[in-house]
Structure 1
Amino acid sequence: MSEQKIALVTGANKGIGYEIAAGLGALGWMVGMGARDQERREAAVAKLRAAGVDAFSVPLDVTDDASVTEAARLIGERGGRLDVLVNNAGTTGNAPQMPTTVDVETVRAAVETNVIGVIRVTNAMLPLLRRSASPRIVNMSSSVGSLTLQTTPGAEVGPISAAYSPSKTFLNAVTVQYAKELRDTDILINAGCPGYCATDLNGFRGVRTPAQGAAIAIQLATLPDDGPTGHFFDDAGEVAW
């Protein structure tokens, strides 16, 4: 097998996902660009290749079993293993999200992508990750998923949200459970918060750039073998669950 590290980034055709892929590629890694939109995905791959990154296209819909299975097969054919999985694909869901009036389909859609999609992709990629000498899984979460911050008076945790915020709380909880199950393996799995970045998910209202948001994912993807697992981090350090 090649000694070049191999990563898969979901939702990699734009925003934070693209910058995560660019950052890992700049380290000399081969990067699978996972995304549903073929035109945007191919354009992102071409852009990274033009910049010298060893990027390749991975058609991937995290909500579709067949798509995820095919993505795992494609990556396996590329290098026989996967060193890093970054579960970045996500959705905020439709607004408004007041709990007393929210459309339950909005909640369902957020959980399907932000939680079930992560489980689906992670489990499909685990056989490839187990072949890596230093496998890492990074789940892109958000500080709005922290129950500690949500219940801290005066904490800035965004608007009331019955779909997006709870889906990230759910993702955080799932991350902990994976870490517990995988604690006797070499796989390190952590959640990362990119901060409030200007992306199309928030109408580009964020105050951080996608590149700044990508930094925590790159940090967690390159943890040493004695690094933490089952924790939640942002640029300032560990975030309370």
Structure 2
Amino acid sequence: MTTTLITGANKGLGFETARRLIAAGHTVYLGSRDAERGRQAADRLGARLLLIDVTDDASVAAAVKTVEAEGGLDVLVNNAGIEGRTGGNGVVGAAEVTADDMRTLFETNVFGAVRVTHAFLPLLRRSAAPVVVNVSSGLASMARVTDPGTPAYAYPGVAYPASKAALNMVTVQYAKALPGFRVNAVEPGFTATDLNGRTGTQSVEQGAEIIVRMAQLSPDGPTGGYFDAQGPLPW
């Protein structure tokens, strides 16, 4: 039996990923920082609720103790993330972005993923086939963001792409340091979720496809890569 933790899983891509992995036979910890919304989501899916705020050391430490007491962990999906949209679904551009704007997004999107991964490493090391999936974005691709021929080129925000580009680097360095793991970053695509004010052009079912696929990697699967549903992406 494969045991999987998905952070930020009470809605959106995390919820759909949990649903699909449960259907595939995984025991899933549905990570949520909100107890009531998390409970409702876990009950709907038949998942195990795990209260976890990725920005809080004590919360993450308590979550590790819970999972360890209940048997361990094989797969970690670092899905919790924020975009920092303002009123009217706008994003903060280069001329307006502040250090505080950057810090807020990095706290969840980068430091949160590192905090959770670091804390769960001892449990993942005990797995016969440990997997880490970091939910990134196509906006993390320097190749895409600098190519006028891509939709990413027109995105004006600074903090979100920067945070996901940093997460990509974190992914690569973890993969090199942990050769027995499969550690990859994934781009779900422009999916309609609360993160982007539901402006996305594809469904959560479509967006979750690559997350689910990479969460089920075998020990001979790729590691240190950056993928969408069609295959490897340019950094």
- State the identity %: 48
Name the counterpart of 1:207: 201
- On the 8 A contact 1:93/1:107 being kept in 2, the answer is no
Q: TM-score scaled to structure 1, two decimals? A: 0.93
Identify the residue that residue 229 of structure 1 maps to in structure 2: 223
Q: Given residue 154 of structure 1, which amino acid in structure 2 is its aligned partner?
A: G
Q: Provide the residue aligned with 2:9 in structure 1.
A: 12
* SS at structure 1 position matched to 2:151: coil
| Separation of aligned partners in 2, 1:39 and 1:240 | 40
Kept in 2, the 8 Å contact 1:193–1:233? The answer is yes
Q: Which residue of 2 aligns with 1:63?
A: 55
Match of 2:66 in 1: 74
Amino acid across the alignment from 2:167: L
Paired amino acid for 1:72: V
Deviations 1:51-70 (A, max 9, x none): xxxx1110000000000001
Report the CA distance between 1:25 and its aligned residue.
Answer: 0.4
Q: By how many angstroms is 1:145 displaced?
A: 0.6
Asked if the contact 1:59–1:67 (Cα under 8 Å) also holds between the matched residues in 2, the reply is: yes
Q: CA deviation at 1:212?
A: 1.3
CA positional deviation for 1:103: 2.9
Given that 2:85 and 2:196 are in contact with CA atoms closer than 8 Å, whether structure 1 keeps it comes out as no
**For 1:100-150, what per-residue CA distance to the aligned partner results, in whole angstroms no more than 9, with x for missing partners?**
211321111110100000000000111110111111000000000101111
Any stretches of 5+ residues in structure 2 without a counterpart? none
Counterpart-to-counterpart distance in 2, 1:123 and 1:82 = 13
1:28-67 correspondence to structure 2 within 5 Å: 28-49=25-46, 55-67=47-59
Q: Distance in 2 between matches of 1:22 and 1:162?
A: 32
For 1:223 and 1:57, the matched residues in 2 are separated by 24
The residue aligned with 1:129 is 124
Q: 1:87 aligns with which of 74, 78, 94?
A: 78
Alignment size in residue pairs:
230
TM-score normalised to the size of structure 2? 0.95
SS in 2 for 1:164: helix
**In structure 2, C-alpha distance between the alignment counterparts of 1:48 and 1:101, rounded to whole Å:** 41
Contact 2:10–2:41, Cα closer than 8 Å, also in 1:
yes
Partner of 1:145: 140
Q: Distance in 1 between matches of 2:85 and 2:192?
A: 18
User: Residue type of the partner of 2:174?
Assistant: Y
Structure 1 residue runs without a partner (length 5+):
50-54
Worse-matched range after superposition: 123-132 or 153-162:
153-162
